[in-house]
């Protein structure tokens, strides 16, 4: 009986202590909140006001997992992410009962199924396509779906390794992004597109100018197949790349040719390129030094700007044209960018692609310049739409990030990515197992190709690049659909 009494007395004292400590903590927080001047809510409602910040932080988590419907989230909804996840894991992507997609939304593309589609022995796999036939070393690209630019630095070492090895397995190219060529890009042996950003990382001199010797060194790698001069990026047109100093390790600094630990802000354009003529000069210079196909990446702001490029090409001749143009839509992604640029600047790929394709064709350069479409094209329907609209290739970055295991935590710019994809913290990187993720990267790419071929066969053509705008209908405000060929008719040839 005495032991029980002692135990009760101990618990009572402990409870009083806990209550006292709690009241003391609340009092301290109340004094701090009442006297601070940065937060009006906490100042007017001490302690209780702190819950607003907590709930705001947790709201992002709860909306994603409990409250948002499959098609509601942005920038990518659960249905899109789940498709990529299941593809990467090698699971079937068949669904039951009916579509959860609202096909009545204005602008939704619907494919025109053929009454008599080809049977099994009447269709073929996608054909390889040559880019830069006039270069000393042309490139034959085997896949219409490829890996878009993600820099080593913006993404982690194990992420680059898994992407490189997965790209090799799938037979697709990998774009380095503007951060230079690392050993981890080369590790997998995949085809590589080296991107020359405005800071010219990896091929720059001490003053940030293009260094031809370093350019030759990069081109000497057999697996570096093409060079892409980046003019602008869809997520931040008019703004150069942004890499926080916390993500710049000694190794990344050495690869890029920049100081360790300092924020790396690329110029908003190539300082030596003031007009389209200067750009054609730069393209010719890179192509001559490397001997390999050279193109540009740009986000379109207006039709007039694009016409200026093709006028400059017409004046100089088709040989001066870029071997490819990568179109990045204003809905494109990035690791870090000002919100106004992400939200409000740049033309969507849905508008830019038909415009540029029309202009290219009107100037008689369809066979000379390959068009590469990019910007939230992560599922088969998106890729098929782009090919039917006029693209020769489609690239994706965020689709492959989902294949790596990205959960859309929206922490790419904080070095705290919980999946290890966009962080250089060894603790988080340990969760990304290269040997497992490379298989998912390859499986996702192969599933995209397979499903796009299925759509192509459904509309009645033998392979995806034979799809045309007549194979797509677009939902209008009155609920009816019209052919994309009527909405975006081909332009008349320019004399």
3-class DSSP assignment, residue 453: helix
Closest CA relative to residue 88, chosen from 445, 379, 450, 376: 445
Write the pLDDT tens digit of every residue in 83-130: 676 777 777 666 655 666 777 788 889 999 999 888 776 666 778 999
Q: Are strands 294-298 and 264-265 parallel, antiparallel or unpaired?
A: unpaired
pLDDT at 77: 59
What tokens were used for 50? 């702190």
What is the pLDDT confidence band of residue 457, given thresholds at 50, 70 and 90? very high
Counting Cβ atoms within 10 Å, is residue 214 exposed (0-12), middle (13-18) or buried (19+)? middle
In sequence order, the 6+-apart residues with CB closer than 8 A to the CB of 281 are: none
What tokens were used for 440? 């998912």
Count of other CB atoms within 10 angstroms of residue 308: 14
**Cα separations (Å) of 339 from 344, 397, 415?**
8, 20, 19
Write the pLDDT tens digit of every residue in 28-59: 778 887 888 777 677 777 877 777 666 666 55
In sequence order, the 6+-apart residues with CB closer than 8 A to the CB of 362 are: 490, 491, 492, 493, 494
What tokens were used for 354? 């038909």
What is the pLDDT confidence band of residue 26, given thresholds at 50, 70 and 90? confident
CA pair distance 442, 439, nearest whole angstrom: 5
Please give the model's pTM, rounded to 2 decimal places: 0.85
CA pair distance 165, 434, nearest whole angstrom: 9
CA pair distance 113, 471, nearest whole angstrom: 8
What is the pLDDT confidence band of residue 285, given thresholds at 50, 70 and 90? very high
pLDDT at 111: 92
* Residue 141 confidence (pLDDT) above 60: yes
- Average pLDDT for 187-196: 96
Q: Which stretch of 110-124, 199-213, 259-273, 409-423 has the lowest confidence by average pLDDT?
A: 409-423
């Amino acid at each position: 009986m005495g032991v029980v009494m002692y135990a009760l007395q101990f618990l009572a004292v402990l409870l009083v202590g806990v209550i006292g400590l709690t009241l003391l903590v609340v009092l301290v927080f109340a004094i701090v909140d009442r006297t601070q001047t940065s937060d009006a809510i906490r100042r007017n409602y001490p302690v209780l006001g702190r819950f607003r910040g907590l709930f705001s932080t947790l709201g992002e988590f709860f909306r994603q997992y409990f409250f948002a419907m499959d098609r509601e989230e942005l920038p990518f909804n659960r249905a899109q992410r789940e498709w990529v996840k299941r593809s990467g894991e090698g699971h079937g992507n068949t669904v039951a009962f009916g579509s959860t997609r609202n096909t009545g939304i204005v602008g939704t593309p619907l494919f025109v199924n053929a009454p008599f589609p080809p049977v099994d022995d009447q269709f073929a796999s996608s054909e390889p396509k040559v880019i830069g036939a006039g270069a000393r070393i042309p490139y034959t690209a085997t896949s219409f779906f490829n890996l878009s630019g993600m820099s080593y630095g913006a993404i982690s070492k194990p992420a680059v390794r898994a992407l490189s090895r997965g790209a090799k397995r799938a037979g697709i190219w990998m774009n380095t992004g503007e951060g230079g060529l690392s050993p981890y890009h080369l590790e997998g042996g995949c085809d590589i597109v080296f991107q020359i950003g405005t800071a010219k990382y990896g091929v720059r001199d001490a003053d940030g100018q293009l260094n031809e010797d370093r350019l030759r060194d990069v081109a000497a790698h057999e697996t570096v197949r093409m060079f892409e001069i980046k003019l602008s990026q869809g997520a931040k047109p008019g703004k150069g790349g942004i890499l926080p100093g916390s993500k710049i390790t000694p190794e990344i600094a050495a690869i890029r040719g920049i100081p360790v630990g300092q924020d790396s802000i690329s110029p908003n354009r190539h300082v030596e390129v003031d007009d389209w003529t200067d750009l054609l000069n730069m393209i010719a210079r890179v192509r001559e030094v490397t001997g390999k196909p050279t193109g540009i990446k740009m986000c379109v702001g207006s039709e007039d700007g694009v016409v200026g490029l093709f006028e400059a090409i017409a004046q100089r001749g088709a040989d001066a044209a870029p071997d490819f143009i990568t179109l990045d839509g204003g809905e494109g992604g990035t690791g870090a960018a000002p919100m106004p640029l992400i939200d409000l600047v740049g033309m969507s790929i849905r508008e830019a692609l038909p415009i540029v394709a029309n202009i290219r064709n009107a100037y008689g350069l369809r066979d000379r310049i390959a068009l590469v479409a990019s910007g939230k094209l992560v599922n088969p329907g998106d890729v098929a739409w782009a090919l039917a609209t006029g693209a020769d290739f489609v690239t994706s970055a965020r689709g492959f990030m989902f294949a790596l295991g990205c959960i859309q935590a929206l922490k790419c710019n904080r070095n705290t990515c919980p999946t290890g994809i966009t962080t250089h913290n060894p603790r988080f990187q340990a969760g990304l197992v290269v040997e497992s993720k490379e298989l998912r990267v390859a499986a996702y790419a192969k599933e995209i190709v397979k499903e796009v071929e299925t759509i192509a066969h459904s509309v009645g053509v033998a392979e995806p690049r034979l799809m045309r705008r007549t194979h797509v209908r677009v939902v209008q405000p009155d609920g009816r659909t019209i052919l994309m060929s009527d909405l975006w008719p081909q332009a008349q040839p320019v004399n």
